[in-house]
Structure 1
Amino acid sequence: MSDHGDLAEPRPGEQPVDDDAVVDQAGDSRHDEDDRLKTDFVSAVLDAVEEGESERARELVSPLHPADIADLLELTPSERRGEVAAALGDLVGAEVLSELNDYVRDGLLDSLAPEQVAEFARELDTDDAVAIIEDMDDADQQAVLDALDPEDRAAIESALSYPEESAGRLMQRDLIAVPEHMTVGQVIDYLRDNSDLTTDFWEIFVVDEQHKPIGTCQLSWILTCPRSVAMADLMKREQTLIPVDMDQEEVALRFQKYALISAAVVDGSGRLVGMITVDDIVHIISEEAGEDILRLSGAGEGDINEPVMDSYRARVRWLLTNLLTALVASTIIGIFEGTIERMVALATLMPIVAGVGGNAGSQTMAVTVRALATNQITGTNTRRTILREMRVALLNGVTVAAVLGVGVALVFQNGALGAVIAAAMMTNILTAGLAGAAVPLAFDRMNLDPAVASSIFVTMITDSMGFFAFLGLASAAGLTG
Structure 2
Amino acid sequence: MSDTDLETPDLPAPLPASRLDEDDRLVPQFVRDVMERVEAGDDEGARALVQPLHPADIADLFEQVDSDDRRALAAALSDMVDGDVIAEMNEHVRDELIDSLEPHQVADIAGQLETDDAVAIIEDMEEDDQRAVLRALDPDDRAAIEEALTYPEESAGRLMQRDLIAVPEHWTVGHVIDYLRADDQLTTDFWEIYVVDPQHHPIGTCMLSWILRAPRKIRIADVMKREQTLIPVDMDQEEVALRFQKYALISAAVVDQSGRLVGMITVDDIVHIIQEEASEDVLLLSGAGEGDINEPISESYKSRVRWLVTNLFTALIASAIIASFGAAIEQMVALAVLMPIVASIGGNAGTQTMAVAVRALATNQLTRSNSWRTIGREIRLALLNGATIAILVGLGAGFVFSNPALGGVIGAAMLINVGVAGLAGVLVPLLLERFDQDPAVASSVFVTMITDSMGFFAFLGLAVASGLVG
* Same-fold call, TM cutoff 0.5: yes
Q: Which residue of 1 aligns with 2:66?
A: 77
1:22 alignment partner, SS class: coil
Q: Shift of the alpha carbon at 1:9? A: 8.2
Q: Which residue of 1 aligns with 2:416?
A: 427
Large movers: runs of 4+ above 3 Å: 8-15
TM-score (norm 2): 0.98
Q: Shift of the alpha carbon at 1:99? A: 1.0
Residues 1:146 and 2:135 aligned together? yes
Measured in 1, the distance between the counterparts of 2:6 and 2:278 equals 39
Q: Which residue of 1 aligns with 2:18?
A: 29
Q: Which residue of 1 aligns with 2:282?
A: 293
Q: Which amino acid aligns with 1:33?
A: E
Q: Which residue of 2 aligns with 1:462?
A: 451
Aligned residues: 468
1:217 alignment partner, SS class: strand
Measured in 2, the distance between the counterparts of 1:72 and 1:253 equals 32
Measured in 2, the distance between the counterparts of 1:418 and 1:31 equals 58
* Structure 1 range deviating more: 270-279 or 402-411: 402-411
2:15 alignment partner, SS class: helix
Measured in 1, the distance between the counterparts of 2:457 and 2:102 equals 63
Q: Which amino acid aligns with 2:14?
A: V
Residues 1:50 and 2:39 aligned together? yes
Q: Which amino acid aligns with 1:399?
A: T
Q: 1:448 aligns with which of 433, 437, 440?
A: 437
Q: Deviations over 1:117-147 (max 9, x none)?
A: 1111111111111111111100000000001
Gaps of 5+ in 1: 1-7
Measured in 2, the distance between the counterparts of 1:129 and 1:10 equals 38
Q: Shift of the alpha carbon at 1:114? A: 0.7
1:214 alignment partner, SS class: strand
Residues 1:385 and 2:377 aligned together? no
Residues 1:438 and 2:433 aligned together? no
Measured in 2, the distance between the counterparts of 1:444 and 1:450 equals 6
1:217-366 to structure 2, matched below 5 A, reads: 217-366=206-355
Q: Shift of the alpha carbon at 1:309? A: 1.0
Gap change, CA 1:112 and 1:11, over 3 Å in 2: farther
Q: 1:102 aligns with which of 91, 100, 107?
A: 91
What is the RMSD of the two structures over their aligned residues, measured on CA atoms?
Answer: 1.3
Q: Which residue of 1 aligns with 2:188?
A: 199
Q: Shift of the alpha carbon at 1:14? A: 3.6
Q: 1:129 aligns with which of 118, 121, 145?
A: 118
Q: Which amino acid aligns with 1:348?
A: V
Q: 2:395 aligns with which of 391, 400, 406?
A: 406
1:23 alignment partner, SS class: coil
Q: Which residue of 1 aligns with 2:199?
A: 210
Q: Shift of the alpha carbon at 1:29? A: 2.5
Measured in 2, the distance between the counterparts of 1:346 and 1:205 equals 70
Q: Shift of the alpha carbon at 1:11? A: 6.4
2:252 alignment partner, SS class: strand
Measured in 1, the distance between the counterparts of 2:317 and 2:325 equals 13
Q: Which residue of 2 aligns with 1:41?
A: 30
Q: Deviations over 1:259-301 (max 9, x none)?
A: 0000000000000000000000000000001111111111111
Q: Which residue of 2 aligns with 1:3?
A: none
Measured in 2, the distance between the counterparts of 1:441 and 1:385 equals 11
Measured in 2, the distance between the counterparts of 1:9 and 1:117 equals 42
Say whether the 8 Å CA contact 2:92–2:294 is kept in structure 1: yes
Q: Which residue of 2 aligns with 1:167?
A: 156
Q: Shift of the alpha carbon at 1:228? A: 1.2
Q: Which amino acid aligns with 1:159?
A: A
Q: Shift of the alpha carbon at 1:23? A: 3.2
Measured in 1, the distance between the counterparts of 2:5 and 2:72 equals 35
Q: Which amino acid aligns with 2:256?
A: D
Measured in 2, the distance between the counterparts of 1:140 and 1:9 equals 52
Q: Shift of the alpha carbon at 1:480? A: 2.1
Q: Which amino acid aligns with 2:284?
A: R
Q: Deviations over 1:305-361 (max 9, x none)?
A: 111111111111111100000000000000100000000000000000000000000
Measured in 1, the distance between the counterparts of 2:128 and 2:48 equals 37
* Structure 1 range deviating more: 191-200 or 300-309: 300-309
Say whether the 8 Å CA contact 2:15–2:52 is kept in structure 1: no
Q: Shift of the alpha carbon at 1:374? A: 0.6
Q: Deviations over 1:82-141 (max 9, x none)?
A: 000110111111111111111111111111111111111111111111111111100000
Q: Shift of the alpha carbon at 1:48? A: 1.3
Q: Shift of the alpha carbon at 1:12? A: 4.8
Q: Deviations over 1:39-77 (max 9, x none)?
A: 111111111111111111111111111111000001110
Q: Deviations over 1:140-176 (max 9, x none)?
A: 0000000111111100000000000000000000000
2:426 alignment partner, SS class: helix
